Structures are given as C-alpha cells and as structure tokens.
Amino acid sequence: MPGMEKLLRGVLRYRSNVKQHLVPQFQRVRDNPEPTAIMFTCMDSRMLPTRFCQTNVGDMFFVRNAGNLIPHASLFGSEGLNTEPAALELACIINDIRHVVVCGHSDCKAMNALYDLKDKPYLDRETEPFGAWLRRFGNASLTKFKQIENGFKGPLEFQGETEKHNFEAYIDPENKFSIRDKLSQVNCLQQIQNISSYGFLKNHLESDKVHLHAMWFDIYSGDVYLFSRERKRFVEITEDSYDHLSIQCKCHHHGDKEAIQ
C-alpha cells in the first residue's frame, strides 16, 4: 500500500517537525475559535487553499466537493439532504461567520467532466453518481456558460445577495484560459447565486451580515484571482491590485469594516 505508506511517513514528519508548533495554536483557539470565513472549494488533490491563503488554525471553515458546487435551494432535499447548506447554516447562522468564499481552479477535473457531459441527456445516479452529481447541481452553470460558448460577447448577469447586489461578469476577457477553465469561472459565480437562494440566509444577506466572494486559483501558474464586481472580472491578487480588492471587500457591503485577511 504505497499510498498509505506515504501518508504514514507524512505523519512521522509531522510529529518531528510540525506538531510542536501546531499544538500551541490548537490550545490557543480551543475555547474561543474565531474563524472569519468559510470556503467552498474543490476536492482536487492539487488544491491547497491553506497554502495559498496562508491560513492558520482556527481561521477558516472548509467544505470540499467535486467542483465546489453548492446546490440551489430549489434542489435541496429533493433527493436527500446535502452537506453544503448545512455547512452554510453552521458557519453563518450558528457561528456568525461573515464571509463566504467559493474557490474554483484551472484544469478542474469536475468541470472538465461537466463540460464533456453537457450534451448527455440522462445519467443514472445509481451507476454514475459522479456524473449525476455534476449534471444535477452544475446544470445552472452549464446553462449560463452556453451563452459564452455560443459566441455571446457581453457580460453575463448573476443574482447577488439581494436584488440590489446583482452583478455582471466578463469571463476571461483576455482569453488566457481554456474553454473548460471559462466554465470553471462561470461555475464559481453561479454558486454565489445558489447560496443567495437559501431562505435561512435572507436576513443576514439583506442586513449585510454575510458577504459572498468568488476566488479562482490557476494551479499551473500559482496565481490567485478574486472576482471584482466593480471591474466585472476576476482580478489577479497582487501587490498592485491588493488595495482595490481590499477596498471592495470592505465596501461591497457598506456595513462591513473588515476585509478578508
């Protein structure tokens, strides 16, 4: 079992090099952890959000699945319960977390598969659960994406936290990424729309207690992007763009005085 051997040797390295530094952090936040965000991201083994966000113990909640999908409220419960809305309630309602981040990435195997399934009419959820999951909960992203694929050059329209927060997006206007990566970016923004559909979040969204953000990670360049509603596009997070993006995080909802750290 070479795979398990690698994990076991990793634990040994952790015990030798990391544990003594990490345990004090656990002890420091044991009784009063104060996470500032919850991130929905992909389960892809190449995605390491704690690395590229440089988070510490207690900083964030993470929910990972195939394609960083959050089912729309209209689909929740129709075929069993889902983890994602439960995580939203736990984070935003019970723990009063104010920032929800959806983070997709380039060469996403789930989005690549969703693209390849776009013309397949039916998938058996008993024998093809991965494809059925993607089609059911990713169909809205596909529908939006088809506007681009069919030559639409204008901005796509998305529902925001409330009607006054609806926004437009130009997807990869510089044409740097593949068609499947464009789908991945559309998918990130569609999840903001899906999150906004949950009634239990309505008061928090309307009162500016919960703020929604979309990030995107290019796994081959290591660059990280944040969607700017002002610029209507994903903007690379750099020293030059930091001030703009930080102000957006502060001012996107006028009642918040805090940027994502």
pLDDT > 70? residue 261: no
SS3 label, residue 159: coil
Cα separation, 132 vs 138, in Å, equals 10
Name the residue with higher pLDDT: 79 or 86.
86
Phi, psi of 68 (to 5 degrees): 40, 55
pLDDT of residue 204: 96
Give mean pLDDT, residues 151-174: 92
pLDDT band at 80 (very low <50, low <70, confident <90, very high): low
Of 261, 108, 96, 248, the residue nearest 191 (C-alpha): 108
Q: Residue 30 corresponds to which tokens in the numbers above?
A: 């044991």
pTM metric for this prediction:
0.90
**Residue percentage of the chain with pLDDT more than 90:** 75
The full set of domains in the chain, from first to last, is 34-251 (3.40.1050.10)
pLDDT > 80? residue 76: no
